[in-house]
Every structure is written in structure tokens, then in C-alpha cells.
Amino acid sequence: MALGINEIKSGVTILVEGEVYMCIDAQHVKPGKGAAFVRARLRNLRNDNIQEKTFRGEEKIDEAYIEERNLQYQYSSGGMYHFMDSENFEEIAIAENIIADKAKLLKDNLEIMGYFYKGETLYVNLPNFIEFTITETEPGFKGDSSKSGNKPATVDTGAVIQVPLFINIGDKIKVDTRTGGTYVERIN
């Protein structure tokens, strides 16, 4: 279905020159003289590049229908990450380049969101926060506080995360996935 320029707004997914983009921001401009236009910031959903594009008055833009699916992480092998669709229990293999740096935070049976266009995986979103158990780190000492610095700690997926000095082996922590896996808090 073709969209008019007045339908372009934040969150809309469109096709531009065969590529799938999500509109991040759109400014509708109606100059005193001449035709109205839209200046939009678009994110390419395949490679995460951001570009600005101007759409003129009578231009029709194709809408891209993105399918969202709840997936559950199963295992990885040979550069592929295998997930199970939570609705139809179908197995879906996603290439390593799409998962990218999120791979270090994948835990068994973790629920994620997968975004697909015509059967092709565009990208995946992890939950905002994930809980991990510390498997390896230097011991903490009495009197260490969260303001005195950080140390590296290995979590149960093998990822290394910077944590405060008071964190010990066996502690459970909450990690923010939106910032690439930064420490948020210790969980009792």
C-alpha cells in the first residue's frame, strides 16, 4: 500500500529503493510558496545506518509490513543462532551478523522479539533488563562501595561486564541490554 507524505511519522516502516527503513523523526514543512514536503530521518533496518531523506508533495511511498515474532533462544552452532517461535513452535535460525554484539547476552530460553520482512530477519531486540549470575571475578572486600570503582566480572553466558568492587562470585546482577550490557544493580 502506498502512503502519502502526510502519513510519514515516527515509527512507520517504509521501502525506499528496495531497502526497509523505519522513520525516526519526520518534519512536515509547508512553505509559504511552493508545495509541502516532509524531511525525515530514517534508520535502515538491515544495517542500522541513519540517513535523511526529503519526500515531496505528490510522491507515494511504499509501506513495509514488518512482522514481529516472540522468539525463545535455544542454542548456537556454526555461526547461526537458533530460536523457537513461541506461537507455532517453529525453529528459526538467525545469522551471527544480525545478532552481532547481543550474542554475549543470550541465555538459554531467553524471550526476545524478532522483526521480519518477507521472511527475512531484519533485527532482534533483547529485553531491556536481564539477570545474570557472576561466575568469575576478583573477591570483594569489606568497605568496598559502588562509588570506589569497577572491576571485570564474568557472567553465566561468558560475557565480561564491569561491576562495582563489592560484587562477588555467585551474586545475581541486573544488566541493561540497551547500553550493550552495563551493570544496573545487585539482586538479592
At 139-188, the pLDDT tens digits run: 876 665 656 788 999 999 999 999 988 888 999 999 999 888 899 999 97
Q: What is the CATH number of the domain that holds 182?
A: 2.40.50.140
User: Do both 121 and 75 map to the same domain?
Assistant: yes
For the entire predicted model, the pTM comes to 0.78
Burial 38-64 (b: 16+ CB within 10 A, else e): bebbbbebeeeeeeebebeeeeebeeb
Average pLDDT over residues 117-124: 89
For residues 126 and 171, give the distance between their C-alpha atoms in angstroms, rounded to a whole number. Answer: 22
For residue 54, what is the domain's CATH number?
A: 2.30.30.30
78: domain range? 67-125
* Pair 74, 89 in one domain: yes
**Residue 23: predicted pLDDT:** 93
Between 57 and 137, the more confident residue is: 137
User: Pairing state of beta strands 120-125 and 80-85?
Assistant: unpaired
**Cβ-count burial of 161 within 10 angstroms (0-12 exposed, 13-18 middle, 19+ buried)?**
buried
Domain count, the chain: 3
Same domain, 58 and 7: yes
Express each pLDDT in 78-96 by its tens digit.
889 999 999 999 999 999 9
Nearest 5°: the CA angle 172, 131, 84 is 140
Last residue of a domain, one of 109, 125, 141: 125
Number of H helices, E strands in the chain: 1, 16
- Domain co-membership, 116 together with 97: yes
Do 34 and 73 reside in the same domain of the chain?
Answer: no
Q: Are residues 13 and 54 in the same domain?
A: yes
